[in-house]
Amino acid sequence: MVDFTEYSSKLNNNQLANKGIPGFVSSAKAQGQTQEFQNGLSLSYAELGIVSPVDPYFNFYSNIPVTETGVTLEEAFFVTTALSAGLQMKAGKFKSNFSRLDAQHPHAWDFKDIALPYKAFLGTEGLGGDDGVQATFLPEFPFYTLFGAEVLQGQNSLLFGTGGNAGDSPHAFTTFVKSSLDTSDNSTIYFGPSVLFGKTNNSNVGNAVAGSGSAWIGGGAA
């Protein structure tokens, strides 16, 4: 997968790099993130996806983005394939299934950049890849309904801070329900609540507020 962009704005590249969301986050540049947009033609990233059956009980998935600044391991996880009663387990480094869009990669979106609530609270790609474990249950309902929960390390610095959490035990948790109902051959209703909560610890000198506490986000998709 290759993502190639042509972008044009009245703002110059330095102004674009310093844009933020007032009252929520400073600019992507101040957060140490790659500049989201710049004028002209640019290669956003190339992504290598690997899918392989390991044995009759597990499949392996990996996503490796390549940008002009280097190569990163965004996802690398195992998914069970033989558990009974609609149960499935996932473990490794993966994008959380919290909310409607978080598990999707940017090339799968129907728009160029992610919705503002994601960008304000989670970052330009949502939670991103995080180390953790996920359990889901797909019951035999007359329409698709998936129940799930995750235990994550909590490596999203925007929501959980950067003041030492990396050495802590897993401290981020999600629960979600995803359901869809076909209303005709050409239309589907999608709905379901999600909750993300965990411990936050922020001691960056550059931040206006430093300390520890808890954070949670709730949402509903439709």
pLDDT per position as a tens digit, 165-194: 545 788 899 999 999 999 888 899 988 999
- Residues 105 and 49: their CA atoms lie apart, in Å, by 11
Report residue 26 as tokens.
């400073």
Question: Which pLDDT does position 87 carry in this prediction?
Answer: 97
User: What is the C-alpha to C-alpha distance for residues 153 and 96, in angstroms, rounded to an integer?
Assistant: 11
Lookup result for tokens 């992504």 = 47
What is d(CA 22, CA 17) in angstroms, rounded to the nearest whole number? Answer: 14
According to the model, what pLDDT value does residue 36 have? 63
Q: What is the Cα–Cα distance from 215 to 220, expressed in whole angstroms?
A: 17
CB 75 within 8 A of CB 94: yes
- Mean pLDDT to the nearest integer, 113-135: 86
Give CA angle at 103 (53, 62), nearest 5°.
Answer: 35
Which contacts qualify for 48-53: CB closer than 8 Å, 24 or more apart?
A: 48/1, 49/1, 53/81
Least confident range of 65-69, 116-120, 159-163? 159-163
Percentage, residues of the chain above pLDDT 70:
80
pTM over 0.75: yes
Token couple for 9: 């704005």
